[in-house]
Amino acid sequence: MSRIPLGRDTPAPKGHDPSVLYRIPRKPCPFPVYGYDLWRSYELSWLNPKGKPMVGIMELIYSRESEFIVESKSLKLYLNGLSYAAFGSPLEVKDTIAQDLERILLTPWILVRIIEQSGFSNLSCETRVPGTSLDTLDVPIDIYQRDPALLSCEEGYRDEVLSSDLLRTSCPITGQPDWASVVIHYCGRGIDHSSLLKYLCSYRDHQGFAEEVCEQIFLDISEHCSPEMLSVKCCYTRRGGIDINPLRCSTPLGPEEVKRIRLIRQ
C-alpha cells in the first residue's frame, strides 16, 4: 500500500496499477451506525482492444461496515491510470475496479456500475433537495466551528425530512473547501429547525473527510436528540471529477436498498 498521496505531488500511473490505492481505517463509533458511501467519477476513460479511448461514468457504492474507506486522491490516480489500459468491454472495466477496491476496503458488499457514453442521456438529477429546506429560516449565524450544543428539541413526536444546501467543510490535509447538501430523516422528539440550521452552519471551518463529517452529524443528533430512527445523507459537490455521497442510518441497509440520488449541484 502506497503512502497517502493527498497533499503530495504524486504522478498518475499509465496503466492499471491498484498499488496506488490508499485506504484509511474507519474511526470507531460509540453508537450502532449503518449505511454506505456512494462515489461518482465523471472522468472515467479506458482503451478498447484497438487502442481507441472510451469514456464513461463510474458509480461506486460500498458498505459502512467496511473496515476502511478509500482515500479520494488515490482513487483519482488509480482511475487516471486506467485511461491507458486496454479492456475488452465495459464489464471488464467494472469487474476490475470492483475487485481492486474490494481487496483493500474489506467490505461485506460493493457495487460498481459503469454508465457508458450511450447511456448519458438517461441520467437525471433532482432539481431540489428532498424534504423541507431549512435555508429560508431567518436566523443569525455566528459560530463556524462544529458545536453540537447548538442542537435543541421541542415537545411532540415528528416524522420529518429536513434538508440544507449550506454545509461547508474543509479537507483535513489540504484545507481545500468542500460543499454539500444534507438530507436528514428522523422519527422522534421534534428537533428545533433553527437550532439544526445553526448546527449545520457551524461546520463552516470544520475539517474532516466527507464520510467522517456525515457520521459526526449522525452521532451528534443521536446523542443530543435521541431519535427513534435517524438517517443522514451528505451530497458533496464534485472535486477532481468525483462527488462523494455518504449515508449514515440507525438501521442496517443492504445493497438492494441503496438510493442513487444525484442533485442539481452535482
Q: Is residue 3 part of a domain?
A: no
| pLDDT for 23 | 95
What is the structure's pLDDT at 1?
46
One domain, residues 45 and 102: yes
Say yes or no: 48 and 152 in one domain. Answer: no
Cα separations (Å) of 160 from 89, 189, 192, 222, 262?
44, 11, 12, 15, 21
Q: pLDDT digit of tens for each residue in the chain (266 aa)?
A: 456 665 566 788 999 999 999 999 998 888 889 999 999 999 999 999 999 999 999 999 999 999 999 999 999 999 999 999 999 999 999 999 999 999 999 999 999 999 999 999 999 999 889 999 999 999 999 999 999 999 999 999 999 999 999 999 999 988 999 999 999 999 999 999 999 999 999 999 999 999 999 999 999 999 999 999 999 999 999 999 999 999 999 999 999 999 898 999 99
- Tell me if residue 93 falls in helix, strand or coil: helix
CB 230 within 8 A of CB 161: no
- Whether 79 maps to a domain, the answer reads yes
Q: Which of 17, 165, 178, 220 is catalytic?
A: 178
Question: What's the pTM value of the predicted model, to 2 decimals?
Answer: 0.92
State residue 231's pLDDT score: 98
Catalytic residue among 153, 171, 214, 249: 171
Structural domain includes residue 234:
yes
Kindly give the residue spans of alpha helices, DSSP state H, lying in the chain. 72-82, 90-105, 193-201, 210-225
- Which of these three, 122, 148, 167, is where a domain ends? 122
Distance CA(216)–CA(147), nearest Å, equals: 11
In-domain check, residue 101: yes
114 and 138 in a single domain? The answer is no
171 is catalytic: yes
Of 66, 96, 122, which residue constitutes the final position of a domain? 122
Q: How far is it, in rounded angstroms, from Cα 39 to Cα 227?
A: 28
**Residue 3: predicted pLDDT:** 61
Note whether residue 170 is domain-resident. Answer: yes
Residue span of the structural domain in which 205 resides: 132-257
Q: Among 80, 95, 122, where does a domain finish?
A: 122
Number of domains in the chain: 2
- Concerning whether 100 is annotated as a catalytic residue, the answer is no
Same domain assignment for residues 62 and 86: yes
- The reply to whether 241 falls in a domain is yes
Note whether residue 2 is domain-resident.
no
CATH of the domain at 42: 3.30.1130.10
pLDDT of residue 6: 53
